[in-house]
Amino acid sequence: MFYREAGDFKTTYTEDSQTFPIKFDRYRYYAVLLFAFAVVPFIINDYWVNAVFLPFLIYAIAAIGLNILVGYCGQVSLGTGGFMAVGAYAVYKLMTTFPEVSIFLHVILAGGITAGVGVLFGLPSLRIKGFYLAVATLAAQFFLVWLFNRVPWFYNYSASGQISAPERTVFGVPVTGAETAPWAAYLFCLVFLTASAFIARNLTRGMAGRKWMAIRDMDIAAEIIGVNPLKAKLSAFAVSSFFVGISGALFFAIYLGAVEVGEAFGINKSFLVLFMVIIGGLGSIFGSFAGAAFLVLLPVLLKNTLVGGLGWPTDLAAHLEFIIVGAMIIIFLIAEPHGLAQLWRVAKEKLRLWPFPH
């Protein structure tokens, strides 16, 4: 009834091609932004930030990054964990080498460094495709983790090989280290997520995104109509790694505070982010959010329900959690192979016709 184009007249091309063409959608989007920026920071505590919001925000950035590569450009990557590690170690080295520069810049620079590394490991994608490329990126994953474990320069020669984030402030408010207020950490990550989503959405709607999608749909055809596969593929790797690097930097500096590369950025992380992208929906920015929310929130929710609510033994709950999350993934993929984003799309189509579907 409210959710339709009728009556919402567009008089310019800009208006016509905006992200949210339907008025209701647009207002909902503003409302969500307002809620996230102006309401949530006042009501969250340590637990909500550290167990729910930070992982969600950070994984959403990583999922957006991977979605550009896998979902939009069709290049399968299993190197996400390794690229996140690059972001984390880059921000650590920058933080400790240039303590006077704002952490905000450091995170962006860490993204830039990761983009460079991503392009380097993206080079094989010009020759190899599909599963073979997945194997090549898997090599990147293992190589990067090995490198950060092996070369003491990366962890400033600390005895344990751990890196830990010293306190850094933004406008005098600490955002890393133990004294960080929950709202500060939350807002810091939220700013990055909002910016990432905005940039990613607009990139994918423009020329760059269309080139990526052309390559994804059929690379030879794309080449014939004038898409340069070298530029398209490498730019996809660069942009994707940039976001993944930012998420890795935030994951280390804001969320965990201390990190051990093998444990935090192992192959499991690569799979986790890939699952987020697949479950959320390939080639959709909203899907990245939905996938991250699904895989971050569901385990926490299950744990709280089973252990906190029903008082079950922790090991039983932990094992059951694997089973339930696994089963949900399978059910979702069978019921809706295009992910949560497609469910959302179908729901919107139905809403548009509601209440008179015929």
Partner 1 sequence: MKLKLATAALAAVIAAGPALADLTFSALSYRTGPYAANGIPFADGYIDYFTLLNERDGGINGEKVNIVECETGYNTEKGVECYESTKGSGALVYQPLSTGITYQLIPKVTSDNIPLHSMGYGRTSAKNGAVFRNIFNYPANYWDGASHAVTHILDLNGGDISGKKIALVYHNSAYGKEPIRTLEELAKKHGYELTLLPVDHPGQEQKSQWLQIRREKPDYVLMWGWGVMNQVAVQEAANIRFPMENFIGIWWSGSENDVLPAGAGADGYKALTFHNLGNDYPVYADLQKYVVDAGKAAGAGDQLGTALYNRGMYAAMLAAEAAKTAQDIHGTTAITPAMMRDGMENLEMTEAKMAALGLPKFGPEFKVNCENHGGNGYGAVAQWDATTGKWSLITDYFQSDQEILQPLIEEDSAAYAAENGITPDCK
Binding site for partner 1 (CB under 8 A): 46-47, 50-51, 55, 149, 159-162, 164, 166-167, 177-179, 255-260, 262-264, 266, 300-301, 303-305, 307-309, 313-315, 317-319
Q: How far is the CB of 45 from partner 1 (least distance, A)?
A: 8
The angle subtended at Cα 196 by Cα 282 and Cα 53, nearest 5°, is: 85
Indicate the DSSP class of residue 166: P
CB of 265 to partner 1, least distance (A): 11
Which residue lies nearer to partner 1 by CB, 102 or 158? Answer: 158
Secondary structure element (H or E) that encloses residue 181, with its range: none
Which of residues 28 and 319 has its CB atom nearest to partner 1 in the complex? 319
Q: How is the chain split among helix, strand and coil, in percent rounded to 5?
A: 75, 0, 25
Task: Closer to partner 1 by CB, 47 or 143: give it.
Answer: 47
Residue from 73, 72, 58 nearest 292 by CA: 58
Select 227 or 264, whichever has its Cβ closest to partner 1. Answer: 264
State how far the alpha carbon of 183 is from the alpha carbons of 38, 47, 228, 273, in Å. 11, 11, 44, 25
Identity of the residue, 204 or 270, whose beta carbon is nearer to partner 1 in the bound complex? 270
Contact status, residue 254 vs residue 185, Cβ threshold 8 Å: yes
Instruction: Tell me how far, at minimum, the Cβ of 16 lies from partner 1, in Å.
Output: 32
Minimum CB separation of residue 260 from partner 1 in Å reads 5
Residue 262 Cα distances to 40, 169, 256, angstroms? 33, 28, 14
Nearer to partner 1, 32 or 123 (CB): 32
- SS3 state of residue 169: strand
Q: H-helix or E-strand containing 54?
A: helix 54-66
Report in angstroms how near the CB of residue 341 gets to partner 1 at its nearest: 16
Closest approach of Cβ 14 to partner 1, in Å?
34
